[in-house]
């Protein structure tokens, strides 16, 4: 730590300042101050973005420590006058410094709450490489976000970084824009001068923006719209990532971006899956929707019929976005007119390729300001982006909003967009030509595809964008992190707590998952209540939080979180199978005892899985989960699932198996395998579900599927489902549940096999009752004593 002799000098010119600062350690005391003994501990516990540490004693600030790199930025970027002495420099630095507090008398260092200025709705910088120049989807998106920020009371400024337009300012649709140099210095100075309270940056300048602004009193929102921040560039051209992400090396400093940005989102489900797999973070989606992504209310009268749509449209003539495939398809369909647009590449190049191929039915147009007129002429739009893997593909949504059927590549996010509304094909000119031919020759088929396109555009609606954005930034002030862990079942038991905390605070919270339970990140990633979900690593530990609350299932881990306070459930009580409270209720009660967050009895029934919602309607599909954990937990497996399935199918019901592949029940529909989220989505088709005590059981309960859960060696009272449509069928026997007998009992010793004493007849009767009623009366009736199975 800095001794007085190495403190900031009283006076120095710019070059002298920089030379002097380069010789000093990371944290500096003000002139004349002696660093306190606890200064090193304070620095070690300080978030990476803090510019100032305020050491507290008795409720007052005892001393301030200044980050050298923040002072260096102020001097190097020309904000400090050459004649400025140390006191004046620190006074200037204090105007925009991000402050962190430390109280040596407390075990957990407190982070100072956001200042009123930082939390106020002031200027928002919306930063991309091209600014108001509509090069790609990110620039269209930021213009949309600027309008939303404006309606929320902020003052948006669109910032472009094109060197040839540096210094240009203006107004676009009532929103100010400015171009600055693509350097950290230029962005630092702009944020300082604008006194910006928030910077919203998209892919292309993310690392540089975070490095420039991390110490200022500003909130950082980063949107992942492209690959640059996540993967090492394959060539000297930083914007070219062919076939990404296959075979690409992750960028290590992406972890730093996840630590520093106050809010991070992705632009599509595809990118969401890539980030989760590669970096252990589950992020919310704000899609890159065009402004016209809602269905035209005048349909069908304003949608031109197919016979008035003579062209096939490829909106981008880049080779890696499908020009080569278009040439092959056009050669197979010489009677059909094809149009492509030189949006991001020279028109002469595309025209030369068409001429070389001898094609007379392909027209290449210059860049267009709007494609609306072309969409209205298009029988079909093509998005064959096989080499350039689309992270979103605005073209799909633009075309569908105009009622145009879309054929897309089977790569990137395009399959997500076209899953229920378009045609997804591999890279085969024959297959693409066949589909185009059908859309021209079969008017009824075209109309069906057009209507599906309109429905999909409406479901993605731009009217939801404001809510998506406001929920993202809602958690920026005094953010909270909840720690969960262990198996999927334990994680599901924390979701009513997560929901309650979010509703109590009125904003989203973050979640960190300890352990390696597959799919656990997706389970807790509900966009209504959760901003970010992290695996336990350096990212959540080094992010700055107001409060960290560690649930019982998080375990004994004690990471050094950067937070005002870290509250551990286990310091109040420890949950066990014989506890007086159900595990879900235990988590809620812990928050009441330790955080003062009240709850009602109904809160325990509001478990969730991701953002999935109950599906209305009846179904004759019965889902089964015949497995559980292995080892000791194998005693939870009911051995009669095959017989139950045979009986149900013999009466005309459909029966499906869920879980892992080895948990398949012979003769049933096989829906085993895949991710936890995919399994949960498929489970929504069920009209009833039968399961052992398992994580899948808890998922069915959270989805509000009529559920019959089977218990014998484990305690249904503390582990069973609490949903209003869930029933626990527990073996009534003097020795059950034997997990309460401890280490010497038959459960731990693997001698318990009594779950087999629950008869097929009892289970079948309960299932049929569920299917007959399929309402909440099933749960109430099934909890009456006469429904508990008695052993002989």
CATH of the domain at 682: 3.40.50.2000
pLDDT for residue 38? 75
End position of a domain, from candidates 573, 605, 637: 605
Tell me the residue ranges of DSSP E strands in 83-226.
99-103, 123-127, 155-160, 169-172, 175-179, 198-202, 219-224
Question: Based on the domain organization, do 691 and 725 belong to the same domain?
Answer: yes
Contacts of 646 (CB under 8 A, 6+ apart): 667
- Contact between residue 143 and residue 158 where contact means Cβ atoms under 8 Å apart: yes
Backbone angles phi, psi at 712, to 5 degrees: -145, -70
pLDDT for residue 786? 31
pLDDT for residue 39? 79
- For residue 70, the tally of other CB atoms under 10 A from its CB is 20
Burial class for 632, CB neighbours closer than 10 Å (0-12, 13-18, 19+): middle
d(CA 569, CA 575): 9
User: Is residue 376 in a domain?
Assistant: yes
Question: Based on the domain organization, do 760 and 694 belong to the same domain?
Answer: yes
Question: Based on the domain organization, do 324 and 440 belong to the same domain?
Answer: yes
d(CA 690, CA 623): 6
Backbone angles phi, psi at 15, to 5 degrees: -65, -35
End position of a domain, from candidates 112, 144, 175: 112
pLDDT for residue 6? 47
d(CA 417, CA 267): 12
Question: Based on the domain organization, do 635 and 713 belong to the same domain?
Answer: yes
User: Is residue 574 in a domain?
Assistant: yes
Length of the chain: 792
- Contact between residue 572 and residue 558 where contact means Cβ atoms under 8 Å apart: no
What's the predicted TM-score (pTM) here? Answer: 0.91
| The 311-314 sheet, strands edge to edge | 362-365, 337-341, 311-314, 378-383, 406-409, 423-425
Question: Based on the domain organization, do 100 and 124 belong to the same domain?
Answer: no
User: Is residue 738 in a domain?
Assistant: yes
CA distances from 374 to 81, 291, 343 (A): 56, 17, 14
- For residue 247, the tally of other CB atoms under 10 A from its CB is 8
Question: Based on the domain organization, do 98 and 124 belong to the same domain?
Answer: no
Contacts of 159 (CB under 8 A, 6+ apart): 125, 126, 127, 128, 131, 177, 178, 179, 180, 187, 190
User: Is residue 292 in a domain?
Assistant: no
Question: Based on the domain organization, do 485 and 593 belong to the same domain?
Answer: yes
- Contact between residue 220 and residue 210 where contact means Cβ atoms under 8 Å apart: yes
d(CA 504, CA 499): 9
Question: Based on the domain organization, do 128 and 106 belong to the same domain?
Answer: no
Domain count, the chain: 5
Tell me the residue ranges of DSSP E strands in 636-704.
654-657, 669-670, 688-692
Question: Based on the domain organization, do 525 and 594 belong to the same domain?
Answer: yes
**For the stretch 592-604, what's the b/e string if a residue is b when 16 or more beta carbons lie within 10 angstroms of its beta carbon?**
eebeebebeeebb
65 lies in which domain range? 4-112
Question: Based on the domain organization, do 546 and 579 belong to the same domain?
Answer: yes
Question: Based on the domain organization, do 105 and 121 belong to the same domain?
Answer: no
Q: What averages of pLDDT result for each successive group of 10 residues across the chain (792 residues)?
A: 45 73 86 75 84 83 89 91 82 92 65 52 92 85 94 95 93 94 95 95 92 94 95 80 94 93 96 96 94 49 82 94 95 96 89 93 89 93 96 94 96 96 96 97 96 91 89 89 92 98 96 86 95 96 94 94 93 94 97 97 95 82 88 80 96 95 95 94 95 94 95 90 92 80 68 85 92 55 34 30
User: Is residue 473 in a domain?
Assistant: no
- For residue 36, the tally of other CB atoms under 10 A from its CB is 18
d(CA 782, CA 703): 19
d(CA 562, CA 545): 6
End position of a domain, from candidates 229, 254, 285: 285
User: Is residue 465 in a domain?
Assistant: no
CA-wise closest residue to 659 among 641, 632, 635 = 641
Question: Based on the domain organization, do 545 and 564 belong to the same domain?
Answer: yes
Long-range contacts, stretch 168-172, CB < 8 angstroms, 24+ apart: 170/132, 172/132, 172/143
User: Is residue 37 in a domain?
Assistant: yes
Query: ∠ at Cα 419 (416, 424), nearest 5°?
Result: 95
User: Is residue 616 in a domain?
Assistant: no
pLDDT for residue 722? 94
Tokens at residue 396, please? Answer: 């799909």
**For the stretch 442-462, what's the b/e string if a residue is b when 16 or more beta carbons lie within 10 angstroms of its beta carbon?**
eeeebbebbbbbbebbbebeb
CA-wise closest residue to 75 among 22, 124, 123 = 22
pLDDT for residue 776? 41
Burial class for 617, CB neighbours closer than 10 Å (0-12, 13-18, 19+): exposed
């Amino acid at each position: 730590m800095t001794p007085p002799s190495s403190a900031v000098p009283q006076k120095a010119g710019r070059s002298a300042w920089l030379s002097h600062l380069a010789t000093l350690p990371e944290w500096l005391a003000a002139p004349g101050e002696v660093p306190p003994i606890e200064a090193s501990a304070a620095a070690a516990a300080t978030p990476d973005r803090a510019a100032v540490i305020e050491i507290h004693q008795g409720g007052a600030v005892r001393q301030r420590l200044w980050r050298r790199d923040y002072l260096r930025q102020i001097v190097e970027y020309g904000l400090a006058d050459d004649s400025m002495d140390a006191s004046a420099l620190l006074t200037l630095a204090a105007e925009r410094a991000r402050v962190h507090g430390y109280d040596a008398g407390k075990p957990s260092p407190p982070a100072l709450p956001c200042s009123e200025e930082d939390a106020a709705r002031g200027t928002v910088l919306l930063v991309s490489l091209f600014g108001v120049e509509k090069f790609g989807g990110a620039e269209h998106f930021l213009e949309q976000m600027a309008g939303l920020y404006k309606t929320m009371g902020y003052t948006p400024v669109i910032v472009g970084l094109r060197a040839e337009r540096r210094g240009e300012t203006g107004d676009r649709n009532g929103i100010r824009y400015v171009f600055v140099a693509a350097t950290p210095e230029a962005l630092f100075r702009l944020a300082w001068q604008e006194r910006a309270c928030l910077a919203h940056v998209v892919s292309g300048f993310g690392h540089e923006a975070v490095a420039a602004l991390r110490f200022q009193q500003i909130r950082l929102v980063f949107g992942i719209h492209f690959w640059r921040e996540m993967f090492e560039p394959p060539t000297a051209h930083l914007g070219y990532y062919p076939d990404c992400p296959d075979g690409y090396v992750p960028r290590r400093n992406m972890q730093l971006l996840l630590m520093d940005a106050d809010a991070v989102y992705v632009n599509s489900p595809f990118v969401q899956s890539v980030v989760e797999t590669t970096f252990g973070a589950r992020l919310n989606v704000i899609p890159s929707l065009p402004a016209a992504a809602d269905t035209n209310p005048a349909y069908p009268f304003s949608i031109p019929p197919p016979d008035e749509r003579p062209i096939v449209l490829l909106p981008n003539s880049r080779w890696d976005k499908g020009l080569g495939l278009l040439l092959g398809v056009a050669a197979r369909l010489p009677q059909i007119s094809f149009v492509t647009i030189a949006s991001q590449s020279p028109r002469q190049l595309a025209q030369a390729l068409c001429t070389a191929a001898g094609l007379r039915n392909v027209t290449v147009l210059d860049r267009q300001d709007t494609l609306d007129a072309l969409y209205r002429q298009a029988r079909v739009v093509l998005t064959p982006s096989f080499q350039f893997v689309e992270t979103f593909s605005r073209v799909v949504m633009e075309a569908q909003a105009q009622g145009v059927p879309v054929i897309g590549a089977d790569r990137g996010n395009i399959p997500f967009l076209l899953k229920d509304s378009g045609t997804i094909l591999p890279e085969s000119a024959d297959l693409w030509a066949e589909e185009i031919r059908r859309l021209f020759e079969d008017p009824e088929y075209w109309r069906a595809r057009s209507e599906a396109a309109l429905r999909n555009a409406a479901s993605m609606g731009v009217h939801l964008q404001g809510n998506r954005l406001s929920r993202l930034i809602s958690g920026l002030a005094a953010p909270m992190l909840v720690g969960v862990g262990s198996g999927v079942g334990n994680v599901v038991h924390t979701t009513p707590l997560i929901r309650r905390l979010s509703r109590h605070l009125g904003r989203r919270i973050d979640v960190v998952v300890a352990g390696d339970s597959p799919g656990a990140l997706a389970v807790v990633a509900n966009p209504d209540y959760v901003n970010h979900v992290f695996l336990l690593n350096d990212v959540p530990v080094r992010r700055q939080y107001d409060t960290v609350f560690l649930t019982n299932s998080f375990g004994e881990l004690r990471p050094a979180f950067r937070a005002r306070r870290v509250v551990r459930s286990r310091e109040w009580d420890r949950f066990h199978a014989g506890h007086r409270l159900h595990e879900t209720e235990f988590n809620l009660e812990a928050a009441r005892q330790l955080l003062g967050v009240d709850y009602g009895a109904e809160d325990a029934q509001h478990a969730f899985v991701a953002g999935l919602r109950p599906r209305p309607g009846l179904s004759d599909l019965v889902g089964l989960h015949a497995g559980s954990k292995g080892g000791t937990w194998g005693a939870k497996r009911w051995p009669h699932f095959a017989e139950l399935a045979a009986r149900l199918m013999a009466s005309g019901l459909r029966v499906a198996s869920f879980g892992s592949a080895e948990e398949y029940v012979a003769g049933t529909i096989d829906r085993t395998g895949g991710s936890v989220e995919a399994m949960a989505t498929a489970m929504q088709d069920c009209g009833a579900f039968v399961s052992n005590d398992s994580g899948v059981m808890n998922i069915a309960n959270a989805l509000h599927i009529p559920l019959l859960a089977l218990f014998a060696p484990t305690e249904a009272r503390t582990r069973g489902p609490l949903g209003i449509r869930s029933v626990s069928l527990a073996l009534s026997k003097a020795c059950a549940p034997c997990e309460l007998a401890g280490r010497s009992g038959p459960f731990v010793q693997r001698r318990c096999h009594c779950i087999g004493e629950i008869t097929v007849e009892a289970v079948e009767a309960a299932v049929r009752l569920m299917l007959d009623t399929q309402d909440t009366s099933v749960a109430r009736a099934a909890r009456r004593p006469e429904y508990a199975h008695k052993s002989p």
